[in-house]
Structure 1
Amino acid sequence: MTALTFLTFAGLAAAQYSNSVGGALPAGIDAPMTSGFSNPTVQPSRGGAAICVSGHVPVMASAENVMFNFSIPANESDVTDTFLKYITQGSTFAQSIMGGMHNVSGNYSIGATLCMPANGTIPSSVQLLTHGIGFDRYYWDFAAGYSYVDYAIEQGYATFSYDRLGVGLSSTPDPIQVVQGPLEVSIANQLAMSLRNSKFGGTNFSTVIGVGHSFGSAITQAVTSMHPTTFDAAILTGFSMNQTAIPAFVTALNLQIASQNQPYRFAGLNNGYLVDYSAVSNQYGFFRAPNFDPLILAAGEAAKGSVTFGELFTQAAIASPAMNFTGPVAIVNGAADLPFCFGNCSYPMNLAEAAVNALYPASMAKDNYLAPSTGHGVNLHYTAMDAYKFIGSFLKQNRY
């Protein structure tokens, strides 16, 4: 079975479907409300536990971004040379391209998906799911058996996943000066507030839980620091305070200009948008053998998401202690995470435990979990369900 065939089958949750607003639903299931979405479609989640509305949502956001004295590379040789300068020991490249701060603001179109239980119940709690580098929103609903969306829905939550700015079906503005961590924190905060204020699907969610992966965890963590009342609880996956392996991670991805790597998917993007080079690069960055299905790796490579220079230059700069966040927080890592643990999240200490304690001094409840024999892309390993069960148990224990 090819990877594309696998994904096609994984998306079919029932044998019979009825027509709906721009999509298909299992027979006998009513379509959820599509308010707040433009060009909406309705479809089941990969495992069929949820009925989801997908489309575009408008977000007005502003932030103090870094002004970089750095131009979009002319070719792949320039891209490679840039990262050689960036990772070289003792290099002053990062400092040399910083030119102060500047305000960035605008109205952005964000590709998003709101999922509700297929049984027609209306949850009072929603999880805002923010993906990391190398993926898009479907990291959270990747395939049957690998869908965090399905698990969360079965636990009684709604989910709202979205393509980060510059990724997938979201707006793709300047990849150096605009698509950066600070602006993405503002967008995440605005989306969370919109969920709390009944802007999507006509549903008023009284509880909003932030869930992130990798760079998405850094964004989620920054929201808890800058806007401590936005989230009621936070789950950070693929995350720690250890940045020593980021150069190794960037090198392993062997980043290439996206429009050259996958011309059909990324033809409209300029040279400031990048992707990992190959399935081998993807395995280096996100997987740990033998704890994954090769078909999942192939599917992940086929559906990989883009990243910008602006994000790569600011990914380590947005997280800071959330001194006033009092809600429960847990960090969930693959025990063999490369970028945030250099392949061993237990050395020289439990890095997830150290991070949650340092970043959340006022939290009412803190915990951590290391999924054994698991790399950075936790959701794409055989151990994904065990990680999901830890998250579900942690939230329920703390009444969320």
Structure 2
Amino acid sequence: MASALVILLSAFSLAQASSDFTCETYTVPLKNISAPSFKLSFEIKTQFDINDWTFNEARRDSSTAFNGIAGPSTTVGDFDISARFCTPLKATKLAQTVLVMTHGVGADKTYWDPTLIGGEQYSLVQAALARGHSIFHYDRLGTGQSTKADPHTVVQFPIQVEILASLTRLLLAPSSPYTLNTTITSAFHLGHSFGAYITAAFGPLYPELTQGISLSGYSGLFDWFNILIAGWQSRVAAQLDPARWGSLQSGYVTPVDIYADAYLDFKSPFFDHAVAEWVTSAKSPYAIAELATLGQTSYNTSSFTKPVQVFQGRYDLSACGGNCDGVLNRTALLWKNASPLDITGSFPAGHMVNLHHNASIAFAAMLDFVGENVQGTK
């Protein structure tokens, strides 16, 4: 059973150490975070509501026939963000640059450091620590142990970008309480899937806060989101599994079952089924407004002149329609002034690159790019 794969981690155990690194989990209080937001033209209350939203988003003319946005608004709020900072026990210059990792829809921060037996082979966190980097990964607003704010009016794309900026400022602050007494002088940002889109927006909006970005589960294109939405067949999470998610508001939804999860996340024969089982056991429902507002915020990727990497599984469904061959030529046009720009779309994997076979090869490519473009460490 999937549950047998999960290593139970005590919610009260805030510190973790090995012979090589130490970690601590924090609840980071963010106050008065504000961002543009959107009024939605729909509300999810029942399974029929989410079914109709799926139809409207998946139909072939959805771009002109359905508009889920009723108008502009503004969100201001206080949020608790669950986050984890890790650093090598042996202090190095490289450890002063923190790698900030933002996960995608349906996951939480464990995407970067999976809590399953044998999960170290799928852990970008542990691979990066072995290189000497410091790491910060967190549960996005509405996921994991972070605040479950209103899934229609608050948990939207723009506020996630502002939260990433606020967390980065805290990490870069002198004597930050969140860095285990490690002096952090700069940050490099990595994002997967929805987290990649957040990171892609964050970079051009706040270039002073990052040395560069690395994106996976991302092409910058929205051409194939309809086949993602159709295949997920999302359901209201609290009604689908009351024992697990009964406390969530009805606007938090989730793919209907493990096979719908795997439809987006994996491509056979390049993964172990046990890993897919863990993904479903560890998943976090997503706020409906996140996908509804993705693409509504203006940011100019061509203005970003710092390093950009796009590392793609060749068979990514949502980013490339299941085949990235040729697609990423269009992605390159979005980042035409990035320096350097490194785009790879041939790794034998689906959407969740980190959780496929030979993930160490993907990690090496990502971390090589980071290492080559972290200033002041050579």
**Normalised TM-score (structure 2):** 0.90
C-alpha separation in 2, matches of 1:325 and 1:103: 26
Superposed CA deviations along residues 167-190 of structure 1, whole A, max 9, x for unmatched, are 111111110111000111000111
C-alpha separation in 2, matches of 1:44 and 1:264: 33
Superposed CA deviations along residues 38-76 of structure 1, whole A, max 9, x for unmatched, are xxx11248xx85422113101232111111132232x11
C-alpha separation in 1, matches of 2:296 and 2:203: 15
SS of match in other structure, 1:145: helix
Corresponding residue of 2:359: 384
Aligned residues of 1:124 and 1:207 also touching (Cα < 8 A): yes
Aligned residues of 1:371 and 1:386 also touching (Cα < 8 A): no
Aligned residues of 2:112 and 2:124 also touching (Cα < 8 A): yes
Aligned ranges 1:113-262 → 2 under 5 Å? 113-119=84-90, 123-142=95-114, 143-197=119-173, 198-201=176-179, 202-262=181-241
Aligned ranges 1:220-369 → 2 under 5 Å? 220-318=199-297, 320-346=299-325, 349-351=326-328, 353-355=329-331, 357-369=332-344
Residue 147 of structure 1, CA deviation: 0.3
Aligned residues of 2:22 and 2:86 also touching (Cα < 8 A): yes
SS of match in other structure, 2:149: coil
- The amino acid that maps onto 2:37 is N
- The amino acid that maps onto 2:109 is R
C-alpha separation in 2, matches of 1:339 and 1:326: 26
C-alpha separation in 2, matches of 1:3 and 1:370: 30
Higher deviation after alignment, 76-85 or 281-290: 76-85
Residue 93 of structure 1, CA deviation: 5.2
- The amino acid that maps onto 2:107 is F
- The amino acid that maps onto 2:195 is G
Instruction: Tell me: higher relative CO, structure 1 or 2? Use CA pairs within 8 A at least 6 residues apart.
Output: 2
CA gap 1:359/1:49 in 2 versus in 1, 3 angstroms: farther
Superposed CA deviations along residues 228-281 of structure 1, whole A, max 9, x for unmatched, are 211111001110122111011111111111113332331210110011111111
Aligned residues of 1:228 and 1:324 also touching (Cα < 8 A): no
Aligned residues of 1:54 and 1:112 also touching (Cα < 8 A): yes
Aligned residues of 2:43 and 2:49 also touching (Cα < 8 A): no
- The amino acid that maps onto 2:15 is V
Q: 1:99 aligns with which of 64, 67, 70?
A: 70
Higher deviation after alignment, 185-194 or 53-62: 53-62
Corresponding residue of 1:43: 16
**Normalised TM-score (structure 1):** 0.86
SS of match in other structure, 2:320: coil
SS of match in other structure, 1:362: coil
The alignment covers a number of residue pairs equal to 365
SS of match in other structure, 2:80: strand
Structure 2: any 5+ residue segments left out of the alignment?
none
Residue 392 of structure 1, CA deviation: 1.3
Aligned residues of 1:374 and 1:383 also touching (Cα < 8 A): no
Cα RMSD, aligned residues only: 2.2
Structure 1: any 5+ residue segments left out of the alignment?
12-19, 24-40
C-alpha separation in 2, matches of 1:159 and 1:318: 28
Corresponding residue of 2:59: 88
SS of match in other structure, 1:229: helix
* Residue 47 (structure 2) pairs with residue 76 (structure 1): yes
Aligned residues of 1:221 and 1:319 also touching (Cα < 8 A): no
SS of match in other structure, 2:120: coil
C-alpha separation in 1, matches of 2:105 and 2:261: 11
C-alpha separation in 2, matches of 1:120 and 1:226: 31
Corresponding residue of 2:80: 109
Q: 1:375 aligns with which of 347, 350, 363?
A: 350
Aligned ranges 1:4-23 → 2 under 5 Å? 4-8=3-7, 22-23=12-13
C-alpha separation in 2, matches of 1:139 and 1:256: 22
Superposed CA deviations along residues 119-139 of structure 1, whole A, max 9, x for unmatched, are 566810101100001110000
Higher deviation after alignment, 365-374 or 383-392: 365-374
Residue 289 of structure 1, CA deviation: 0.5
C-alpha separation in 2, matches of 1:370 and 1:336: 9
Superposed CA deviations along residues 69-127 of structure 1, whole A, max 9, x for unmatched, are 32232x112211121122222245542x4222111111100111111125566810101
Aligned residues of 2:57 and 2:229 also touching (Cα < 8 A): no
Give the structure with the higher percent helix: 2
C-alpha separation in 1, matches of 2:11 and 2:232: 39
Aligned residues of 2:197 and 2:220 also touching (Cα < 8 A): no
